[in-house]
Amino acid sequence: MGIVRGRFITFEGIDGAGKTTQIDALERLIRSKGIEVVRTREPGGTPAGEKIRAMLLSDDMTVRTETLLFFAARAEHVETLIRPALERGAWVLSDRFTDATYAYQTGGKGMDGRDVEALEAWTLGGFAPDRTVLFDISPETAARRRAVRAGEGDRFERESTAFFTRVRNAYLDRAARDPKRFLTVDASDTPEHIEARIREEFLTWL
Ligand code: TYD
């Protein structure tokens, strides 16, 4: 009998939606079943990807350059980390993936969605998450949550409420088009309720 391929689960939502706490909880739950978990993030996840991340979060650049860099980091991520992990049976939990490019660069910044589709096809050749948890929250609530964190935030977190409204709507639109892959949770709910909702869903993924 061959090794059963792991599952690739991604987590999305605007900045300040509270993804981290929930990814932590799901990671513990999956490990408790004796399954290997690889926890990662985008942009980043690999040595080259983390360098690209540093550039993306701090340097001003055009949306085209930005989009190419997100995909460059993603190509490295999928080839060197995600696919090998899935093939040895690990579950991969990624804080953001390609949906974020559609939401931020297309929804937020007006990059043509067809160009993103072309880059996605060229870079990933149909590779996609098995499941995606979308943390949906109003930009106002998310901004209040970000405000209690230390520091002034990165280049993306300093965007306007109007920007985050477009990003949120782009995420909701993607979720509506692919309801089998997406689980949308109300991120303004209590952490306990959200955790219970994800746990319940996780049992169906096993
Ligand atoms: P993230 O790691 O979630 O930020 P933080 O560590 O501050 O919580 O993501 C960094 C930023 O990059 C975030 O604002 C979203 C943005 N982003 C895009 O614009 N496009 C993408 O394709 C990805 C993956 C992230």
Q: Residues 7-14: what's their mean pLDDT?
A: 98
Nearest atom of ligand 1 to the alpha carbon of 98: 22
Is 137 in contact with 188 (CB distance < 8 Å)?
Answer: yes
Pick the residue whose CA is nearest to atom 23 on ligand 1: 100
Does the pLDDT of residue 1 top 80, yes or no? no
What's the pLDDT at 125?
Answer: 96
Number of alpha carbons in the 13 Å side-chain half-sphere of residue 48: 13
CA 151–ligand 1 middle distance (angstroms): 16
Alpha helices by DSSP H, listed for the chain, are 19-32, 47-58, 63-77, 83-87, 98-100, 113-124, 139-147, 161-177, 191-205
Nearest atom of ligand 1 to the alpha carbon of 74: 24
Does the pLDDT of residue 81 top 90, yes or no? yes
- What's the one-letter identity of residue 16? G
Tens-digit pLDDT profile for residues 39-80: 999 999 999 999 999 999 999 999 999 999 999 999 999 999
Nearest atom of ligand 1 to the alpha carbon of 41: 2
Query: Of 14, 154, 164, 174, which is best to mutate to test ligand 1, by the most ligand atoms within 8 angstroms of its C-beta?
Result: 154
- What's the one-letter identity of residue 178? D
Domains of the chain: 8-203 (3.40.50.300)
Is 95 in contact with 23 (CB distance < 8 Å)?
Answer: yes
Residue ranges around ligand 1 (CB below 6 Å):
15, 41-43, 70, 95-96, 100-101, 104-105, 154, 156-157
CA 43–ligand 1 middle distance (angstroms): 6
- Count the residues in the chain: 206
Is 110 in contact with 163 (CB distance < 8 Å)?
Answer: no
Query: Of 11, 19, 24, 42, which is best to mutate to test ligand 1, by the most ligand atoms within 8 angstroms of its C-beta?
Result: 42
What's the pLDDT at 2?
Answer: 73
CA 49–ligand 1 middle distance (angstroms): 13
Measured CA to CA, the distance from residue 28 to residue 101 in angstroms comes to 28
Nearest atom of ligand 1 to the alpha carbon of 154: 7
CA 166–ligand 1 middle distance (angstroms): 15
Pick the residue whose CA is nearest to atom 17 on ligand 1: 100
Tens-digit pLDDT profile for residues 101-111: 999 999 999 99
Does the pLDDT of residue 168 top 80, yes or no? yes
Instruction: Measure Cα distances from 164 to 76, 104, 168 in Å.
Output: 28, 8, 6
Going by pLDDT thresholds of 50, 70 and 90, the confidence category of residue 153 is confident
Structure tokens of 51?
């360098």
The reply to whether the predicted model has a pTM over 0.85 is yes
Neighbouring-strand partners of residue 8: 92
Compute the radius of gyration of the chain from its Cα atoms: 16
